[in-house]
Amino acid sequence: MFNNKIGKIRLYDGTATPYYIEVPFDIGDFDGPLGEPLHDEKLIMHRGKADANMFYIKGSDEKIFEPVPCSFSAMMTHLTDSTYLLAFIQWLNGGSETINTLTMATTKGSSQRISVNTPSFADSNKKTCNLEVLWDGSGTDFGLKLCEVWIPDVRVTEEDEAVKLTLPGQCYGAISTLTAFTSGTDLTESQG
């Protein structure tokens, strides 16, 4: 059985060997889709009459490329990791492209839905990352990979014992399952 006590979340940039941040002190409240949106089906009848000649057609592709909501929370700490997490979110929204001397790259346009690459944003300040969540199992681990996730805002909530960051995202790219994290370079580690 999987549970939130043995899960981890990582955010990846789009470089060839991606830079990632493993979210410290995530609260275990990840909420996201298990798959990509599907086409609507529209019933076609002759003059509104149900008979052997009626059939369905696929609706517009527009629904397929709409973003799918996802979210998770983390506790704010005095640790440097929280500073890097906030810098990463700021980068997604037009902030500095350099974090811990590393130059970040967006993942926008790097995945496909219905065999078509996702389009770039009209606003070049908006960047996306890939989000991976992985739960350890007694045999095979299970996780999700959400490509091209934009996290537009961070909500800060004061609680008695912690300051909580709520990170609501929009997934614009491919969504798949995984059994291990993508390899990469931890951007919180000392570089050079």
The residue among 24, 181, 184 whose CA lies nearest residue 104 is: 184
d(CA 69, CA 179): 22
Q: pLDDT value at position 171?
A: 98
The CATH architecture of the domain made up of 4-34+65-186 is Roll (2.30)
- List Cα–Cα distances, 128 to 12, 46, 47, 117, 191, in angstroms: 9, 45, 46, 14, 23
CB 163 within 8 A of CB 31: no
What's the whole-model pTM score? 0.90
Per-10-residue mean pLDDT, the chain, length 192: 74 97 88 92 92 92 94 85 90 95 96 94 96 89 96 88 91 96 92 64
Domain boundaries defined on the chain = 4-34+65-186
165: CB partners within 8 A, 6+ apart: 73, 74, 75, 76, 85, 154, 155, 156
